[in-house]
Structure 1
Amino acid sequence: MTDIRETLRAQPLRIGISTRALFNLEEKHAVFQSQGVEAYSALQLEREDTLIGKGPGFEVVERLLRLNEPEKPYVEVFLLSRNSPDLSLRAFNSIDHYKLGIKAGSFTSGRSLGPFISAWELDLFLSNEITDVQAAIEAGAAAAKLGTAPEARQEDPSDEVRIAFDGDAVVFSAESDELFKNRGLQAFLAHERENAKTPMSGGPFGKFLRKLSILRKIFLNDQGVSRVRIAIVTARNAPAHARVVHTLRDWGTPADEAHFVGVRSKGPILKALGAHIFFDDQIKHVLGAAGVVPAGHVPGPHDPDEPIIPAGL
């Protein structure tokens, strides 16, 4: 256990998050869109000492940072913002109020955050700005576009952090998606049966999952339960489900939960799971989940409106 602790401390799980993903700045963003940068800046300066509400990425960041011990951290979070340095004061005042362990970041006065993804050595980037998400992906980080926080979330007194992922084109490569798209459902099912024990290649969140799994292992207790809980929520069902299990086993990244939902909505499953964040490459699943869990859209290689890998009949 000492070895993996030191390994992760040497290269912590590094997350970058935009101010609008961490905090609820939708009202101020509307001012920016309708009245321009000067009106937006004036409003922010006027409210410099006013606490900012929590945004869609706040809870998962807060829970991950709680895992850190007094020594070198397992998780580092950086604030990346297109705001000006002047406006950083309000953000860090709010961070201090909430006692989040965020001390560093970049404020670019409107410039793209893309060049700073590699500079901060990020494993994951969360933003509401799609161009910055795309830039992060091009820089090799896992990245997702968050919407707004769910209006009603039940208080969760547990010390767990529960992160849920779609499978294909998120954790795994889009290879099976493409096979279904080009050759149809029966060819896809036959291929997955034949290759059930052949591990899939990693997708945009593959590396992030591997690093998150180290964190999960560090907090695994004697009963096999971790404070870091990983779930796969996928439209695959039997027989295509088997390849998911064998791939995770081969990677050494076991999931605490797997939900093979077929054609059913993922929202009710995610609500029952109590996920603190969910990542999917299909907008319909992101929108379906967003009312109950902070949900991030992972830009994929296909039309977001196309059905990808429906359940086998």
Structure 2
Amino acid sequence: MSDALQAYADASIAKGSQSFAAASRLFDEETRRDVAKLYAWCRHCDDVVDGQELGHGRIEQAASPLERLAGLELQTHAALGENRAVHPAFQCLADVTKRHGIAVARAFDHLAGFRMDVEDRRFRTLDELLLYCYGVAGVVGVMMAQVMGARDPATLDRACDLGLAFQLTNIARDIVDDAQLGRIYLPLDWLDEAGIPIDAVADPINRTKLASLAKRLVEAAEPYYDSAARGIADLPLRAAWAIAAARGIYRAIGRKVVARGPSAWDSRVSTSRSEKLGVLSSGGLLALRSRMAGSELRSPALWRRPV
């Protein structure tokens, strides 16, 4: 793996996700490098579908979102097949999947999540939303856990749970921004119960009702955060520390959304540097405590990832 390619991967994670970049510094060097490579491919796919660069701004695109997604699928097939990838993001994917024995189907599960966005899918129930969350985040948790050395299906289930929790938190934080772009992720049943028309989700008049639904999303994420905490002990200690820290950072974002209530979307919710440092410390304690806790079966009430 060339230094230039690793630099590309490192830049992707540094600029694309301050929260995950902060936690990733806790990995051992080899794991950190491979985590960055997997992130770089995921970030590239997300950017291409959304017409953004590292999650920001808007780039004029001649091709439609569906055409851009088709291009990603073709490039992914090529990178994971016999053909050598040209774009660095796909070189990163090919390297990391081969090194860690990650199934080709996992990459296409991720692209299937993006297809739901491209097709403007709506979700009637929480279970339908969780299938979307699996595609865009849960399966990434599974692949990341494999990069960290996890192979036990039970551990991979817990890693998927963390991805689901992250995505539910992201949706709660970005409800208004997403709605202004025409993307509605809240379950339609919830909107009906709250009396919010689907075309008025971003209307300021609905902020109090919207705050109650954001709280409901954050509460829905909690059992998945709890389940993920139970799987941390199965990871190498430094990886466990990094994942515990990432869990703490994202969970704190959800709590801030709830605490702000109707004003949650006046400015983007994030964690400060000092808050991140505090979570990094508490994440280390969680990683250590997890090794002393007894094992516990995953709750059968939780949504289960596709096999």
TM-score > 0.5, shorter chain as reference: no
Q: TM-score, normalised by structure 1?
A: 0.29
Task: Name the structure with the higher helix share.
Answer: 2
- Structure number with bigger Rg: 1
Tell me the TM-score normalized by structure 2.
0.30
